[in-house]
């Protein structure tokens, strides 16, 4: 055998060090995870100021992080690459073309989207905008969008002024060199001309013109109209929001309190914050923006629980509410990921490096194909506020809503215009046309929908009865609405205590404790104290969480006539943390010690009734009645520590007694003793389950804890029976060895079982 010397050892150490250095160079590349890069184009200045650019990035990043947390796409993580398009969008577009990005999200404005779109079309890279609305943007097969276009919103605004506002004198302000403003203005003028409505005045603003100078010119023109008896019934501003912020204060400060209407550029939640530091806003919140009407594809007070949960999640992460920009860019990111996943499912033979940018031309074409395949209700994506898909030009059918600012909150206007998809489903069409509830424009029928601001303040919740899944709630309920002949207080509570529902008894509103009327707006306030029911789910008992809810809808008016929305401006607390804090301060759960409040949301959704209700004209149709349902949901979690101390200590005692039997002499461990313990455990198990409703026929989490103990008692019985059998005694194995096995196996099985049980359900 060779004798090793110090030289040999140094040679081996040197060789190992060399191998280590080489490994450090190559191992990172060997184990480096390929990423999928998606580009987003924003103005970094806007992003820094938390305006549109910041909302775009935050909305997309939230979705990207969710996908990455779930394992990414095809095992690869997503990387969001941010590009600045503030100076030259064409140069930015060329940078993206030269990068490894497989798709682009943006641009924020129509002007930048149009300029960059030429590059994307030339080099073949798919782009989706959630904010650019100029019609021409999607003329290329490479550009898509998740919002409406300017023709759609311009026509809607003109219809609203004609049929809701009944505006005769209209004044228009626009930017002459901005594609967004020009195309929106053109659409508005075209529709107004079809109504034979002439503008009493208009002002165009040049990009290079000083805003103060332009505003003074506008004020002079408005004062001239006022002196001539031609006060505008509405001022339309189609400029970008940055221009509008320079015009609106001067109009307000000159005492010209005319109704102002704008496109989606004014509808962002960041818009009123641009005036927050002015003396007028400090004295009165919303001084400059209260009463400004804007078109938008998203308003959260009218959205369902999915949207409310998204809003809360977004707020908890970024400490501001998402608004429509963040929401539609979240949806845009969803569309790109869905396109990738669709392609991967359809084409199983794709190489492993697909969508990593190693073959950009192939990856980008595949994404375009995937987006183009999202083209029907069957392939539609479930977005935050609606399902959407792209038509042959890359557009989506986005909702068009009218919002209004109130104390910096952007909320639904009192009247919305809802398109009627199938006029054959409308009962007594002629009557509704004559009284103005329904009107027709260019072959399309619309209906006026009344928005009812609804608020609930919970005073106290008590008497939670698990046996009947019922609870008692004391609360205030109020409605705010424009005076119309619909009686919004004529509601039915959908989850009023089931026993009373079965008996035919219903919960109705008594006389309001207070009614106020001001400027055509009615505010009625009620106080209720009643039992409600919501079927509890005990699968995770005693780690269960339950929902305490209050649900109601109008007795007979469908959603196209009336929608109950959350009164964001009137409710003190609408965010999760604020609601929970308010519950604690007001001792809402003061008499309940076995539960903790985890969450609370207020939202409206659509309740669908597919019955014909006896109307013969609906027999041959696929009609369904949709009702606006208002919901309050309070999530509570059982206090597990309290439950264990009050209910599960005997279970541990039985476990201890059962295990202690293993330490008796083998001859003293009898089947009778073990059977006695088993019988006691069974009776205790049944007594705990007795508190659950009789209809619970499934296994709950608590059952598994007892099943574990039953198994261990069975193990003891097996040891006793086996140890006393002649066949076992003939093997020569001593009984104490069998007992020793039980002493070791029992605690190991118990601890592992408890750990698994707690990990799954807790």
What is the arithmetic mean of pLDDT over 667-683?
83
* Of 426 and 592, more confident: 592
Asked if pLDDT for residue 731 goes beyond 60, the answer is: yes
pLDDT at 202: 94
Tell me which of 616, 638, 660 is where a domain ends: 638
Instruction: Quote the CA–CA distance of 8 and 414 in Å, as a whole number.
Output: 89
Contact by Cβ (8 Å): 475, 456:
yes
When pLDDT is cut at 50, 70 and 90, the band that residue 326 belongs to is very high
pLDDT tens digits for 614-671? 555 444 555 567 889 999 999 999 998 888 888 888 888 888 888 888 888 877 777 8
When pLDDT is cut at 50, 70 and 90, the band that residue 16 belongs to is low
Instruction: Quote the CA–CA distance of 417 and 610 in Å, as a whole number.
Output: 24
pLDDT tens digits for 235-273? 999 999 989 999 999 999 999 989 999 999 999 888 898
Q: What is the pTM of this model?
A: 0.82
Tell me which of 388, 407, 434 is where a domain ends: 388
Asked if pLDDT for residue 471 goes beyond 90, the answer is: yes
Here the tokens at position 247 are 């015009």
Is residue 362 exposed (0-12), middle (13-18) or buried (19+ Cβ within 10 Å)?
A: middle
pLDDT at 393: 95
Asked if pLDDT for residue 30 goes beyond 50, the answer is: no
> 728 preceded by cis ω (within 30°)?
no
Tell me whether residue 400 is in a domain: no
When pLDDT is cut at 50, 70 and 90, the band that residue 283 belongs to is very high
* Of 492 and 503, more confident: 492
Instruction: Quote the CA–CA distance of 275 and 281 in Å, as a whole number.
Output: 7
Give the chain's mean pLDDT: 87
pLDDT at 66: 96
Residues 472 and 599 in one domain: yes
What is the arithmetic mean of pLDDT over 317-329?
93
Residues 251 and 196 in one domain: yes
For residue 387, what is the enclosing H or E element?
Answer: strand 387-388
Domains in the chain: how many in total? 5
Instruction: Quote the CA–CA distance of 526 and 286 in Å, as a whole number.
Output: 28
Residues 462 and 529 in one domain: yes
Instruction: Quote the CA–CA distance of 331 and 128 in Å, as a whole number.
Output: 10
Tokens 């869905």 belong to 338
First-to-last alpha carbon distance for the chain, in angstroms, is 62
Instruction: Quote the CA–CA distance of 92 and 114 in Å, as a whole number.
Output: 13
What is the arithmetic mean of pLDDT over 667-685?
84
Tell me whether residue 399 is in a domain: no
Of 47-56, 431-440, 499-508, highest mean pLDDT: 431-440
Distances (CA, A) of 507 to 399, 493, 528: 34, 7, 9
Write the CB contacts of 438 (distance below 8 Å, at least 6 apart in sequence): 420, 426, 429, 432, 445, 446, 447, 448
Instruction: Quote the CA–CA distance of 261 and 161 in Å, as a whole number.
Output: 9
DSSP state of 614: T
* Of 204 and 575, more confident: 204
Residues 471 and 613 in one domain: yes
Residues 557 and 624 in one domain: yes
Tokens 């100021």 belong to 49
When pLDDT is cut at 50, 70 and 90, the band that residue 27 belongs to is very low
Give 596's strand partners: 637
Asked if pLDDT for residue 755 goes beyond 60, the answer is: yes
pLDDT at 425: 67
Write the CB contacts of 422 (distance below 8 Å, at least 6 apart in sequence): 621, 623
Which residue spans within 589-696 are E strands per DSSP? Answer: 595-609, 625-638
% of the chain surpassing 70 pLDDT: 91
What is the arithmetic mean of pLDDT over 67-80?
94
DSSP string for residues in 145-164: ESS--HHHHHHHHHHHIIII
What is the arithmetic mean of pLDDT over 84-88?
83
Edge-to-edge, what's the strand order for the sheet holding 35-42?
A: 77-84, 35-42, 104-105, 127-129, 143-145
pLDDT at 619: 47
pLDDT at 606: 86
What is the arithmetic mean of pLDDT over 196-222?
90
State the CATH number of the domain containing residue 485.
Answer: 2.70.170.10
Instruction: Quote the CA–CA distance of 239 and 207 in Å, as a whole number.
Output: 10
pLDDT at 32: 46
Residue closest to 571 by CA, chosen among 597, 596, 548, 602:
602
For residue 36, report the phi and psi dihedrals to the nearest 5 degrees.
-110, 120
Distances (CA, A) of 275 to 177, 263, 281, 287, 319: 26, 19, 7, 9, 19
Asked if pLDDT for residue 12 goes beyond 60, the answer is: no
State the CATH number of the domain containing residue 51.
Answer: 3.40.50.2300
pLDDT at 446: 86
Tell me whether residue 339 is in a domain: yes
Residues 137 and 51 in one domain: yes
Asked if pLDDT for residue 410 goes beyond 60, the answer is: yes
What is the arithmetic mean of pLDDT over 696-710?
89
Contact by Cβ (8 Å): 329, 108:
no
What is the arithmetic mean of pLDDT over 126-152?
96
Asked if pLDDT for residue 431 goes beyond 90, the answer is: no
Least confident interval from 24-28, 94-98, 215-219, 332-336: 24-28
For residue 316, report the phi and psi dihedrals to the nearest 5 degrees.
-65, -30
When pLDDT is cut at 50, 70 and 90, the band that residue 13 belongs to is low
Tell me whether residue 19 is in a domain: yes
pLDDT at 49: 52
Residues 201 and 62 in one domain: no
pLDDT at 96: 95
Asked if pLDDT for residue 33 goes beyond 60, the answer is: no
pLDDT at 577: 80
Asked if pLDDT for residue 389 goes beyond 70, the answer is: yes
Least confident interval from 24-33, 235-244, 401-410, 499-508: 24-33
For residue 93, report the phi and psi dihedrals to the nearest 5 degrees.
-60, -40
Asked if pLDDT for residue 357 goes beyond 90, the answer is: no
Tell me whether residue 657 is in a domain: yes
What is the arithmetic mean of pLDDT over 478-493?
89
> 107 preceded by cis ω (within 30°)?
yes
Instruction: Quote the CA–CA distance of 264 and 128 in Å, as a whole number.
Output: 17
For residue 198, report the phi and psi dihedrals to the nearest 5 degrees.
-105, 140
Asked if pLDDT for residue 581 goes beyond 90, the answer is: no
Instruction: Quote the CA–CA distance of 79 and 319 in Å, as a whole number.
Output: 23
For residue 448, report the phi and psi dihedrals to the nearest 5 degrees.
-80, 125
Contact by Cβ (8 Å): 188, 238:
yes
Contact by Cβ (8 Å): 179, 111:
yes
DSSP state of 496: B
Residues 706 and 728 in one domain: yes
pLDDT at 737: 80
pLDDT at 653: 86
Q: Which domain holds residue 703?
A: 642-761
Tell me whether residue 303 is in a domain: no
Residues 166 and 112 in one domain: no
When pLDDT is cut at 50, 70 and 90, the band that residue 738 belongs to is confident
Residue closest to 37 by CA, chosen among 88, 85, 113, 104:
104
When pLDDT is cut at 50, 70 and 90, the band that residue 232 belongs to is very high
Helix axes 179-194, 110-123, angle to 10 degrees: 110
Residues 431 and 545 in one domain: yes
Least confident interval from 124-138, 253-267, 313-327, 694-708: 694-708
Beta strand 625-638 with 595-609: parallel, antiparallel or unpaired?
antiparallel
Asked if pLDDT for residue 514 goes beyond 90, the answer is: yes
Q: What is the CA radius of gyration of the chain?
A: 34
pLDDT at 617: 46
% of the chain surpassing 90 pLDDT: 52
pLDDT at 263: 96
CB burial readout 229-240, b (16+ within 10 A) else e = eeebbbbbbbbb
Here the tokens at position 65 are 């992080």
When pLDDT is cut at 50, 70 and 90, the band that residue 610 belongs to is low
Contact by Cβ (8 Å): 483, 534:
no
Residues 57 and 129 in one domain: yes
Count of CB atoms situated within 10 Å of the CB of 130: 29
Of 26-40, 73-87, 327-341, 416-430, highest mean pLDDT: 327-341
Instruction: Quote the CA–CA distance of 36 and 78 in Å, as a whole number.
Output: 5
Tokens 């987006």 belong to 371
Residues 62 and 84 in one domain: yes
Instruction: Quote the CA–CA distance of 623 and 608 in Å, as a whole number.
Output: 10
* Of 39 and 657, more confident: 39
Give 546's strand partners: 636
Tell me whether residue 413 is in a domain: no
What is the arithmetic mean of pLDDT over 27-45?
72
Tell me which of 638, 655, 674 is where a domain ends: 638
What is the arithmetic mean of pLDDT over 581-597?
87
Instruction: Quote the CA–CA distance of 176 and 165 in Å, as a whole number.
Output: 27
Spacing of C-alpha 125 from chain mean position: 29
What is the arithmetic mean of pLDDT over 309-323?
91
Tokens 């698990």 belong to 466
What is the arithmetic mean of pLDDT over 278-286?
92
pLDDT at 754: 87
Tell me whether residue 649 is in a domain: yes
Residue closest to 78 by CA, chosen among 64, 62, 63:
64
């Amino acid at each position: 055998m060779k004798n090793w010397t110090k030289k040999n050892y140094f040679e081996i150490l040197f060789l190992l060090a060399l191998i280590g250095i080489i490994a450090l160079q190559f191992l990172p590349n060997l184990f480096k995870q390929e990423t999928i890069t998606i580009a987003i184009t924003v103005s970094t200045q806007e992003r820094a100021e938390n305006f549109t650019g910041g909302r775009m990035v935050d909305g997309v990043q939230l979705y990207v992080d969710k996908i990455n947390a779930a394992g990414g796409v095809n095992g690869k993580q997503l990387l969001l690459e941010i590009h600045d398009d503030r100076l030259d969008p064409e140069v930015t577009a060329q940078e993206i073309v030269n990068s490894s990005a497989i798709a682009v999200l943006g641009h924020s404005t129509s002007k930048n989207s149009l300029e960059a779109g030429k590059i994307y079309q030339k080099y073949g890279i798919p782009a989706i905008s959630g904010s650019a609305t100029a019609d021409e943007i999607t003329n290329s097969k490479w550009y898509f969008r998740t919002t409406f276009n300017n023709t759609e919103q311009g026509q809607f605004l003109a219809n609203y002024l004609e049929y809701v506002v009944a505006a005769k004198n209209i004044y228009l302000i626009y930017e002459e060199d901005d594609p967004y403003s020009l195309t929106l203005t053109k659409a508005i003028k075209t529709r107004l001309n079809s109504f034979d409505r002439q503008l009493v005045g208009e002002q165009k603003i040049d990009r290079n013109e000083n805003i103060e100078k332009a505003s003074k010119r506008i004020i002079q023109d408005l004062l001239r109209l006022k002196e001539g008896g031609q006060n505008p019934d509405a001022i339309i501003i189609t400029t970008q929001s940055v221009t509008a912020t320079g015009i609106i204060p001067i109009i307000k400060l000159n005492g010209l309190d005319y109704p102002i209407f704008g496109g989606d550029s004014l509808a962002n939640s960041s818009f009123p914050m641009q005036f927050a530091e002015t003396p007028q806003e400090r004295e009165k919140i919303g001084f400059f923006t209260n009463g400004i009407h804007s078109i938008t594809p998203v308003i959260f007070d009218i959205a369902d629980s999915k949207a409310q949960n998204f809003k809360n999640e977004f707020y908890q992460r970024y400490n501001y509410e998402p608004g429509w920009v963040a929401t539609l860019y979240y949806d845009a990111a969803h569309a790109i990921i869905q396109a990738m996943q669709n392609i991967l499912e359809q084409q199983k033979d794709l190489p492993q490096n697909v969508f990593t940018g190693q073959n950009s031309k192939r990856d980008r074409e595949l994404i375009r194909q995937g987006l183009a395949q999202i083209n029907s209700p069957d392939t539609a994506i479930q977005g935050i506020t609606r399902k959407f898909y792209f038509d042959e030009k890359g557009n989506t059918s986005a909702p068009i809503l009218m919002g209004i600012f109130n104390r910096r909150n952007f909320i639904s206007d009192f009247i919305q215009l809802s398109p009627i998809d199938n006029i054959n489903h409308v009962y007594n069409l002629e009557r509704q046309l004559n009284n103005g509830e329904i009107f027709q424009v260019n072959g399309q029928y619309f209906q006026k929908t009344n928005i009812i601001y609804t608020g609930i303040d919970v005073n106290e919740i008590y008497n939670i009865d698990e046996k009947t899944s019922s609870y008692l709630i004391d609360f205030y309920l109020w409605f705010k609405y424009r005076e119309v002949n619909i009686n919004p207080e004529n509601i039915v509570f959908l989850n009023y205590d089931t026993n009373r529902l079965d008996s035919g008894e219903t919960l109705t509103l008594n006389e309001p404790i207070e009614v106020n009327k001001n400027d055509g707006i009615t505010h009625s306030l009620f106080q209720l104290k009643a039992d409600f029911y919501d079927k509890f789910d005990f699968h995770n008992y005693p780690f269960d969480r339950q929902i305490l809810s209050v649900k109601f809808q109008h007795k007979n008016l469908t959603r196209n006539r009336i929608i109950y929305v959350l009164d964001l401006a009137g409710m003190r607390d609408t965010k999760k943390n604020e609601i929970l804090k308010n519950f604690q301060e007001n001792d809402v759960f003061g008499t309940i010690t076995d539960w903790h409040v985890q969450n609370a949301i207020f939202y409206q959704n659509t309740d669908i009734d597919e019955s014909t209700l006896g109307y013969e004209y609906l027999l041959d149709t696929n009609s369904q009645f949709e009702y606006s349902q208002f919901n309050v949901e309070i999530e509570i979690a059982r206090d597990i520590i309290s439950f264990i101390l009050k209910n599960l200590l005997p279970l541990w005692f039985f476990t201890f007694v059962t295990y202690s039997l293993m330490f008796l002499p083998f001859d003293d461990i009898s089947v009778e003793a073990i059977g006695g313990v088993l019988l006691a455990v069974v009776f205790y198990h049944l007594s705990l389950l007795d508190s659950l409703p009789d209809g619970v026929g499934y296994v709950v989490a608590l059952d598994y804890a007892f099943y574990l103990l039953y198994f261990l008692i069975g193990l003891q019985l097996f040891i006793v029976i086996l140890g006393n059998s002649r066949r076992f005694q003939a093997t020569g194995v001593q009984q104490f060895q069998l007992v020793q096995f039980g002493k070791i196996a029992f605690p190991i099985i118990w601890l592992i079982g408890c750990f698994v049980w707690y990990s799954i359900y807790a």
